[in-house]
Amino acid sequence: MELKTVQTRHVPVRYFEGGTGPDLVYLHGAGGVTAEDPFLAALAAKHHVYAPLIPGYGDSEEAPTIRDMLDFTLHTWDVIEALGLKDPILVGHSMGGMIAAEMAAVAPNDVSRLALICPAGLWDDDHPIADIFSLLPFEMPQILFHDAVAGAAMLTAGRNVEDPNFLQTYLVNNARQLGMAGRILFPIPERGLVDRLYRIKAKTVIVWGDSDRLTPPFYAHGFKKGIAGSVLVSIPEAGHMVIVEKTPAVVEAIGRLG
């Protein structure tokens, strides 16, 4: 994947681009995305993938003027416009799924194929979504992965926790990335999407890991019910990070969009 920059109204946006095939825009979750992400590579096998970073993620510039859900939604439309894309397959994971669903709801005639992978955006008091903002690093794998041990190894790979600068770098990245994500996810990741889902016209596939302990599979039914004609693909032995735990199954599900 190649890291590039495209200018938008708010800020220059960094994005990964690679692969050949139908255009596909991938919106990452609150943890971000890197060039080495195996899910991007798998998508790029059959698609021309564009994966824009939310401002503040990776090395991208922050955007103080993107504050609320509508700002995030319109900004991401601005990115698609700036990339010169028309009706790409729109795929979003977690927070990215929430943004993708909002985009499809505000502009239903501009999105014909939508894949939502354990998206955020709905809330039910009896099925609380874990508070990722107050989780400590060591608590993350248990929440994010079906296999917490393998997940922990994945999260710490390539990081030198003995490095004295590690903590500061970690804190800065966290502040930039989760600080931005908090604008639509804190303290409760719900901004009224439930009342807008009905507007979505896209052919929609909803993908969920059966052992998702961050956004419980309960919510899959909320999305399925809210989006007419949508299809739910449940994936066994996969948690919230189903995109890395069961990459081929997720890619196969997206393939159903044609």
Partner 1 sequence: MKFTWFNLMPWPYLPDDFREKNRSVWVDIDQRLFDPAKSHEVYNTYMDLLEYADTLGFDGVGVNEHHQNGYGIMPSPNIIAAGLARRTKNAAIVVLGNSIALYNPPVRVAEEFAMLDCISGGRLVAGFPVGTSMDTNYCYGQIPSLTREKYQEAHDLIIKAWTTRDPFAWNGRYNKLRHVNIWPRPIQQPHPPVHIPGGGSVETYDFCIDNTYSYSYLSFSGYLRAKALMQGYWDRVEERGAPDKSPYRAGFAQTILVAETDEEAERLYSEHVSYFYNRCLHVYPGFADAPGYRTIKTIQSGALSQYAPPKGGGYTELTWKDLVEQGHIIAGSPETVRQRMEDLIKGLNVGNIFCLMHVGNMPADKCMYSTRLFAEKVMPKLRNMFPDFADDDRFWAKPLENRVTSGSLPGEFPTSASLAKTYA
CB of 176 to partner 1, least distance (A): 7
CB of 218 to partner 1, least distance (A): 23
Q: x/- binding map, residues 62-101, to partner 1, per CB under 8 A?
A: --x--x----------------------------------
Q: Which of 51, 105, 115, 180 binds partner 1 (CB under 8 A)?
A: 180
CA 69 – CA 159 distance, rounded (Å): 33
The footprint of partner 1 on this chain (CB under 8 A) covers a number of residues equal to 23
The answer to whether residue 35 forms part of the interface with partner 1 (CB under 8 A) is no
Closer of 13 and 180 to partner 1 (Cβ): 180
The beta-carbon contacts of 138-143 under 8 Å, at least 24 apart in sequence, are 142/213, 143/213, 143/214, 143/239, 143/240
Going by the DSSP 8-state scheme, the letter that residue 93 receives in this structure is: E
The three-class DSSP label of residue 251 is helix
Closer of 178 and 233 to partner 1 (Cβ): 178
Q: x/- binding map, residues 125-164, to partner 1, per CB under 8 A?
A: --------xxxx--x-------------------------
Q: Is 93 exposed, middle or buried (0-12, 13-18, 19+ CB in 10 A)?
A: buried
What's the number of CA atoms in the CB half-sphere (13 Å) around residue 217? 16
